[in-house]
Structure 1
Amino acid sequence: MASFLRMESPQPGAAPAASEEESPWLEAFVHAPVALALVRPDGVLAALNPCARRLLDVEPGEPLGAALGDEAARAELEGALQRALHGEAAGGEWWLGRRRARVRLQAPAGGRWVVASLEDVTEAQQREADLRHALGATADSLERVTDGFVALDADWRYTLVNSGGARLLGRTPEQLVGRHIWTEFPEGMGQPFHLAYERAFATQQPQTLLEYYPPFGRWFENRIYPSPDGLSIYFHDVTERVQTGQQLEALNAQLGRERQWLRGLLEQLPVAIALVRPGSGQLLLANALAARTLGALLEGRAPGEWQAEDGRPLTPETLPQVRAARGEVLDALGLACGERRWVVTSARIAEGLGHEATCVLAFQDVTELKRAEQALERSVRDRDEFLSIASHELKTPLAGLTLQVHRLLQVAAAPHGPGELARRAEPMRRSVARLDKLVQSLLDVSRIRSGRLALEREVLDLSELTREVLERLAEPLAQAGCALEARIAPQVVGFWDRLRLEQVLVNLVTNASKYGAGRPVQVVLDAEGPRARLWVSDQGIGIAAEEQVRIFEPFERAVSSRHYGGFGLGLWIVRQVVEALGGSVRVQSRPGEGATFVVELERAAS
């Protein structure tokens, strides 16, 4: 090979002497735009054209043989030269000094030398080495990631599959590389992943996809990056994440339903509920009842309209929500607003489960309960008063009756007998009648309060009934010093209960004689269309306006029972009977000017 590196030309770079036939060829050699070298058949480098000198960085005068080949490539160069001399295509890549060149050798027919074309591949070789290194590093990186990765070329063939991708696809990388994706996985055709790959390649836009893949029964997330040469696809199994998300969604939906149910329950509670923030007293939530009935109070806009149990008006500092927010525990705190009465109870709920601490206030409207308590208290008072009055009212006729019986016994023993007995028996009859009336009143109270007041309606001439009752009461009226003035329209007929209307007439007329004693009593009956009207008037003590409703309640009267006897049941019984018959009763009166009771009745049964 030493001879191959030898240069015999005394002027380096100069072309050897040429024959007349070779001169044009050598002229083209010198001016060729590519790097060319002339090598003699014995391996001696004869000349380099300017392009070759620039390639090999050889200056004129330097030994040309030093630029071509190295000791390690000697045998390969000699073999290539011999093949070229025999008319075969020969060449290779060798280092020529500091440059890597791709050399092609060709011997012209009958030529005295071999032409070597030189192509500098130093940078290309370096780029290939860098690329191989980068590919190796990328492959190493892809093997380290837990995601699956595959690369597809433009013909849908696998060019790279990392171990994660092979595991997810159930194959080895060797089983997939070079294979067509839809040949290996035909069941994927038409699936969302197939469509996304097609779309990414067609639009050259990255795609992200989260879909269920039925053939594998798993959820996958894909990130697809296209290029003109194919697709790079990162994918990983997110089945557990999706299932967890679905479970969370189901739990959230259940929680939402529970929250909605609790909110609905809160809204339907018959108690006003309010939630306030501790410290500030800020209103957080009020159910429908609280918002409707306590809105101004809870928002602190009208505290002056409310009073505490002791009657003192509330101030912004004494509002129940403010007191509860300060840490006070409200236990059946009483409040009043107009006629309504409320009881407030509070509790503090500690923070937890993602919620801050909260004060809960419950407002219970106890207006009806208070009224019931007051009614019960009145009933107790009425009972005690009734017992007192009853004992007095029953004792009087019983005492008189006892005395009359004692005298009757004395008379019976005397010789002047029967006539005196009859005279003595009359007071006894009156006492018994009074007792009967008292007992009947008590029975009526029992029947009315138990709802057992039975009506026996019939066609009744109220005009005739009124005249009969007034005739029967003529003597008691005369004894009371009450002149009777009656104006009774004829034939006032209706469908009524005879005994009960008789009771109404007796109660109203005897009431007039009691409170208007010594003065006239007037009774007027007439009819107008479908209604009958009865007026019973006296000229007695009269009734104050504030007492005119109360006198129709049981055991009530406008004056003290010490001055006027009776149970205080007469007017109450009148009202109950009249209203049961579908009518109404009212009073017109002023103190000292007497009283007129007006009864209106429907003539036909409703």
Structure 2
Amino acid sequence: MSPPETGPAERPSVESSADRIRVLYVDEPEHGDRVESYLEGADGRFEVSTATDSSEARTRLAERDVDCVVSDDRLPGESGVEFLRRVREDYPELPFVLFAGNGSEAVASEAIAAGVTDYLPRDGADDRYAVLAERVRDAVERYRTEQAAAATERWLRRGCERVTDGFLVLNRSWAVQFVNGAGAAQLGVARDAVVGQRLWDAVPELRGTPVEDALRSAATSVDPTTVETDCGPLDGWYTVTAYPDADGLSVFLRDTTERKRRERELEATRERYEGLVEAFPNGGVFLFDEDCRFTAAGGVDLTRVGLSEEHLLGRRPSEVFPPENAALLESAYEAALDGERRSFEDSFIGRYYHVQTFPIRDSDGDIVSGMAVAQNITDRKEREERLRRQNERLETFARFVSHDLRNPLSVLQGALYLAEETGEPQHFDRCQSAVERMEQLIDGLLAMATDGEEADMSVAAVSLADCTRNCWQTLDTAGATLVADTDLTVEANYVRFRQLLENLLQNALDHGRTASNGDGAVTVTVGALDDGSGFFVADDGPGVADDIRGEAFDLGRSSVEDGTGLGLAIGKQIVEDHGWDIRVTESADGGARFEVSGVTVVE
């Protein structure tokens, strides 16, 4: 076994298996064989090796782990006590039993002075080997216990030195038993100078401070005592925690000066923003900490959406807002705490907000908090939405105008030609009717484009048959036949209702004339629905294929080569503006049939 050093070098023998006791016996061979035989026979834990002189013994000690040395008092060339002294030079704690064959009180006294663990005469009672075994067992167990305790103490001391908090141990007389490096630095003393002194003598400035009060309180208690104080003698804020036990106190000193400084700065920052938070006029202002938890909240919109500062404080957005809002907010809050500013829009309970998030920094430039400002932009968003819808309607109306004026303009052109050719008055009458119809369309469409969704939708009783015949007069109906034998009267806006009928009639003419006979002979029938809920416009043309009926009312959808795809879309819009429903199906003659239901019928 190699000579131990202080610290871990001693551990091989300390950590020997508890099931083995390795003994090195040094004496003449005949005695060595006898001791080996007896010890190993008496207790299976013993493993005995022998050496005949001190030189061989020291070699064995350097080569293997030994738990105990047993030696005679007389060895070749030197005495057992002299051998003991040599062993103690390299192994000061290793158990050493002097099993003296020629012992005396003088030898025993000399051995004790040299550091022997135990002394036992070899000659004497018959049970001397049993006593030897017992002495060796006791010595090894005691040695192992002491070494384990010493190793544990060293480990604890190393651990105490690694911690950044100050740590000291006081006995019941207030004497410092141990202080780590951090603790000595905090107390402003040298470790070697303070250990063994009463704390009040080593650091007299602590007298009369909250630290002394906390330590004295802990000394008379069974529970730990903690105090946080601005301790002048320690030059800063400290949290002092004392743990009492039967031997005294274990005291931890944590320097919280920097944390307190940051807390004061954060509080000052909070106070600076408090007025803004409480009185923000059009939205809300929020402060949040490093965990994205709200530390302050205010603004007139909080109560409007059912929130309060009390409900928000200490909570994260995910604990307050719906998931879709919380995910966006927490991402922005975390970015703010990383130094990133963000700006985005969000909606909550029917309101729209422009949200800005940014970090709040202390005097050192470190981020100590985050802030979010949510400005209510609901009015602006609603104006934008109204403008968007109005622009869409204007665009649609522009197409409506180009489409709906086409029919009376076509009639006007044809009537003018016939009037010039024949001079017959009825052609001029048709021209006048076409012009009047164009004026009605223009006035109505301009009103809708100007007023948007608030366009005049006043209703009155309108005869379906009369309105249909008036529409027929403004269309190119050459070769077509109208059947409108109905007395149905409905509540409708006359201008829009006539526009609807014209588009449905024109659609029947355009598509009906694509029949295989090619002569333009199409019959258009207008009448009441059997259930009394509205009316229909049907033709005997080729009809609408099943696979495209769902697209019949889409803008730009037309099955006619030169069609605009606007007529039915315009018609559907007029139907919906009245609160009615429209659908396309097949007529009795196999053509197209458009049914408008949900209509208020005048009896």
Q: Normalising by structure 2, what TM-score?
A: 0.37
Greater gyration radius: 1
TM-score normalised by length of structure 1:
0.37
